[in-house]
Amino acid sequence: MISTKNLSVRLSGRTVLSDVSISALPGRVLAIAGPNGSGKSTLLKALSGELPYQGEASINGRSVSGTDPLALSQLRGVLPQSSSVAFPFSVAEVVSFGLVASRHHRKTEASGRIAEALSRVGLHGYEARSYLELSGGEQQRVQLARVLCQIPKPVEEGEPRWLFLDEPVSSLDIRHQLAIMQLARDFARAGGGVIAVMHDLNLTALFADDLLLLKSGEMVGAGPLAEIMHDHLLDKAFSCALKVNRVPEGDLPFVLPHTVGI
Ligand SMILES: Nc1ncnc2c1ncn2[C@@H]1O[C@H](COP(=O)(O)OP(=O)(O)OP(=O)(O)O)[C@@H](O)[C@H]1O
Ligand SMILES: [Mg+2]
């Protein structure tokens, strides 16, 4: 389980996250949504151990700030919102960065893990391609393969593992958006945990079990998606009139804007 209590983050003298108390359970996908600058990436970074925080944050009962980076890297993999690669690495090299923290150092085993991770994101056979020559969506999927190389299994040694995904489908076409969200949900259904920052509310409705809405660094609502995805909470979070509708079959919510312009 992941849990935070009164988690706050100050950056450059500004409070950018304030009193966030949430829990995320293995077996479920937690989506974080909210306007630009609302603190979504900051929250993921604090949970990842990349930023100092006040309050409490724990992964599987271990305090995030009190756990060393190597141990954290075996518990959770992080897909940042953007990743830049400055040198002309091959795709296999970029994916292999995910192996650094793992114990699988034998070369044959490493290449098998790289190939498997690439297959999972639909990039079978891309190992020798130059990363910098790939399209934006292909690069995003290579970065996800790197994370899957680091955390290939939802459960290891009886403990759930976690994927922290910051806008994992922002550059992807519709088919790959669905495939990657399905991969995230499968990871959760197999006993792991997923926390994903999402801007697409309809994909969120399709794939998330729980939803955290943030605004200006504060919680607007958190809980099961069915309890949080309502007009008034979305309106409060996004300052924009949104209407949650339902597909009659399956009672699936979908969201339409009420007004045009901001
Ligand atoms: N290193 C920093 N120093 C000062 N302020 C920062 C720093 N990093 C982020 N912020 C500020 O913190 C706030 C939250 O940023 P964050 O990146 O978490 O937003 P976000 O919700 O992920 O937005 P987006 O949807 O645009 O990705 C923003 O106002 C941002 O300007
Ligand atoms: Mg962000």
pLDDT, position 85: 87
Rounded to the nearest angstrom, the distance between the alpha carbon of 43 and the centre of ligand 2 is 9
Mutate to test the pocket of ligand 1, among 32, 41, 216 (most ligand atoms within 8 A of CB): 41
Residue nearest to atom 12 of ligand 1 (CA): 16
Ligand 1 neighbours (beta carbon < 6 A): 11-12, 14, 16, 34, 36-42, 81
Residue nearest to atom 5 of ligand 1 (CA): 11
Which of the ligands is closest to the CA of residue 43?
A: 1
Query: What are the domain boundaries of the chain?
Result: 2-257
Ligand 1: atom nearest CA of 81 is: 27
Residue nearest to atom 30 of ligand 1 (CA): 37
What CA–CA distance (Å, rounded) separates 76 from 67? Answer: 12
- Look at residue 261 and tell me whether its pLDDT is greater than 60: no
pLDDT, position 101: 59
Q: How many CB atoms lie within 10 A of CB 87?
A: 8
pLDDT in tens, 184-241: 999 999 999 999 999 999 999 999 999 999 999 999 999 999 999 999 999 999 999 8
pLDDT, position 105: 60
- Look at residue 10 and tell me whether its pLDDT is greater than 80: yes
Ligand 1: atom nearest CA of 39 is: 18
Largest CA distance in the chain: 57
Coil/strand/helix, residue 248: coil
Residue nearest to atom 2 of ligand 1 (CA): 11
Are the C-beta atoms of residues 195 and 162 closer than 8 Å to each other? yes
Which of the ligands is closest to the CA of residue 81?
A: 2
Beta strands in 130-261 (DSSP E): 155-156, 159-160, 162-166, 193-197, 210-215, 218-224, 242-247, 252-257
Q: Which of 7-11, 178-182, 239-243 has the lowest mean pLDDT?
A: 239-243
pLDDT in tens, 14-30: 999 999 999 999 999 99
pLDDT, position 132: 96
Rounded average pLDDT over 103-115: 78
More confident residue, 9 or 246: 9
| DSSP string computed for 67-116 | S-HHHHHHHEEEE-S-----S--BHHHHHHGGGTTSS---HHHHHHHHHH
Provide the β-strand partners of residue 156. 159
pLDDT, position 180: 97
Please tell us whether the domain made up of 2-257 is placed in CATH 3.10.440.10: no
pLDDT in tens, 88-108: 999 999 999 998 755 656 677
pLDDT, position 103: 60
Instruction: Count how many Cα atoms sit within 13 Å of the Cα of residue 200 in the half-sphere of its side chain.
Output: 17
What CA–CA distance (Å, rounded) separates 217 from 17? Answer: 4
**pTM of the model as a whole:** 0.95
pLDDT category of residue 255 using cuts at 50, 70 and 90 = confident
Which of the ligands is closest to the CA of residue 15?
A: 1
